[in-house]
């Protein structure tokens, strides 16, 4: 492998209703020394290379549950 020619891209999936990320996918392309085609910007475009894909799913750990407000407290809050 040629560690001097490596490209990576990221995709972040977002729950738009909650405004939080759900998952992150990373794709890493690594060149095979002397056998990988690249463009002028040193992006891998063909030839021999290795691709790795990693997907991280973010946990719901610590997610806040809906708050149940007692009826008496609701009365007080509506007066504020």
Distance CA 30, CA 50 (A): 5
- The predicted pLDDT at position 67 comes to 75
| Beta strands at 20-38 and 2-15: parallel, antiparallel or unpaired | antiparallel
- The predicted pLDDT at position 34 comes to 86
- The predicted pLDDT at position 25 comes to 96
- The predicted pLDDT at position 80 comes to 60
54's tokens: 């990693």
The enclosing H or E element of 40 equals: none
The enclosing H or E element of 33 equals: strand 20-38
- The predicted pLDDT at position 62 comes to 66
Give pLDDT < 50 ranges for the chain: none
Query: What is the three-class DSSP state of 67?
Result: coil
- The predicted pLDDT at position 20 comes to 85
- The predicted pLDDT at position 27 comes to 93
* Sheet containing strand 44-57, strands side by side: 2-15, 20-38, 44-57
């Amino acid at each position: 492998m040629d560690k001097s020619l490596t490209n990576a891209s990221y995709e972040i999936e977002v729950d738009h209703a909650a405004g939080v990320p759900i998952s992150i996918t990373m794709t890493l392309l690594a060149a095979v020394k002397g056998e990988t085609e690249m463009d002028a910007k040193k992006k891998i475009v063909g030839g021999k290379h290795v691709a790795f894909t990693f997907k991280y799913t973010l946990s719901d750990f610590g997610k806040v549950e809906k708050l149940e407000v007692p009826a008496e407290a609701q009365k007080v809050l509506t007066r504020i």
